[in-house]
Structure 1
Amino acid sequence: MGHALCICSRSAITIDNKKYYFIQKLDEGGFSYVDLVEGSHDGRFYALKRILCHDREARQEAQTEVEMHQLFSHPNILGLTGHSFMERAGKCEAWLLLPYISKGSLWSVLEKLRDKGSSVSESRILNILHGVCEGLKAIHDAGYAHRDLKPTNVLLDENDRPYLMDLGSMNKASMEVRGSREAMRVQDWAAQRCTISYRAPELFSVESHCIIDERTDIWSLGCVLYCMMMLEGPYDLIFQKGDSVALAVQNPVSIPQPCSYSQGLQTLLSSTMVSNPQERPRISWVLHQIQNLQGSDGTAVDTNRV
């Protein structure tokens, strides 16, 4: 009886004719909040992402995020359980109901290891990276790019299975830029939607006539790999000090030495973080190299990217 009274006292929302009770806040950003909720019909926990849509453009962006989730049913991409758009007093909120992954983000796991003075084993790095790449491959094969891959946008379950999340920055994999005005539009969009310390070099100063493709994600993937190896992103300190990340990404990534990880893993990292996007590999090549490293002692990586 006491439990029932407790349930009734909690605030509740309804999505797709199912009731969910608020448990606690999990996170908040500039225009979104994530709450932990419990389904009254199944007793399971879910993450409710509430996006504040301050104008028509923001509402369309939220709708696009819903559509991106609905495109995929993949073990390494966070699924969408339900959604709703709520209109209140002239304001709109998009509600995205997502599975709750209790272990949290890859970044939170890495932070705890760093605080303990520990590190991530190479086999664990390869296992997580393999799952991230499988999710990315599904996105790229569908003709899209994630555009904001970073450790906080990767969730890990109790078995270390990674889930790509926050699909709000996703768009078509290939973007043809025609003229300086369009280049500036893409550059401004990237500044708003692609986290600076994980942003590919070609998005900092967009050329007037170019094609930007899904290999922006390969650069970000390299940054994620670096973060798993060093427990901080390659450009985190540069950004925190107020120095120019845009300038730093024009140079080859520097791997601190001595490095406890295999030469094969270091070579894979260097291969993904190539400033010239045309020299960067695609996701199938990266997956192949990971599989090679998982099946070997990690001392060599084939440099043929065909």
Structure 2
Amino acid sequence: MPQNSPKVRYHAVTAAEDGQRIDNLLLGQLKGVPRSHVYRLLSSGQVRRNGGRVKPSTRVAAGDQVRIPPVRTAERDAGPPPDRLVHRVREAIIDVDGDFIVLDKPEGIAVHGGSGVPHGVIECLRVSHGQDYDLVHRLDRETSGVLVCARRGEPLRRARQALNHPKTEKLYQVLVHGRWRGGPRTVDQALDVHARQAGERTVRADEAGKQAVTHFDALDRRPRMSLLEARLETGRTHQIRVHAAAVGHPVVGDLKYGDGALDTQVSPGRLCLHAWRMRLVHREVGKLLEVSASVPDAFMALLDGAS
């Protein structure tokens, strides 16, 4: 039943939440509230951290006080995830390393429930491995590949802190339309989220936006397609997809920023973006984790067909 939250409340950020983006924190605190409404609360200044205004990308620290305004919620118990989804997520686990669980996340599975998706990877992991685990980072639902989860508390805090270490690496393999010419190329193009409807975000190049840097290099090139490695220097929404399209090589199967006419010719059936390697480095303890997940066979089949 819908119910009104009677008053403003304040949430003290825990050690496990240290380093988390404030939009993700709110989505966890405001179960049942549409994602679009959470972003409206942020943009209107109703959400405050230690008394100051925040942006959705602001990261919180342990001990911060977050003001959460009264909102009308519609709590819906989605129940436990179905067995078939739990099994699929369990089968995707490629490594259990102490306090970490690493998956080769399949394309089409969300990392967590919300925005019309009742269950995701983390809900399934909590069924099979207990409630102690949380996401270290996120991948879009359409993106496959390396996804790291950590035990709550110190392991999770360290892993999230490590995301900002200069020696931490996030490498992707991406299949794009067209033959890549020349060698490595860096795209330094500011990006801005300019539309957000029902939780859907669209990004465009905008000098007034946030700096975004992607380093591309060709792994394999054919007359009509190329397989690239993309290394993120920054981690903006849809960064690889927008930057690839900006240099004339849209990602194969990208329904938002891609080339629909070219996709129709090859029928990829998915977004051809895969997180293939992650190396987490923490300033105090050194390397935390280094893992990889091979590029999907479907990528190579499409590439061979484009020869």
Same fold (TM over 0.5): no
Normalised by the size of structure 1, how large is the TM-score? 0.27
Compare the two structures and name the one with the higher helix fraction.
1
The structure with higher relative contact order (CA 8 Å, sep 6+) is 2
Normalised by the size of structure 2, how large is the TM-score? 0.27
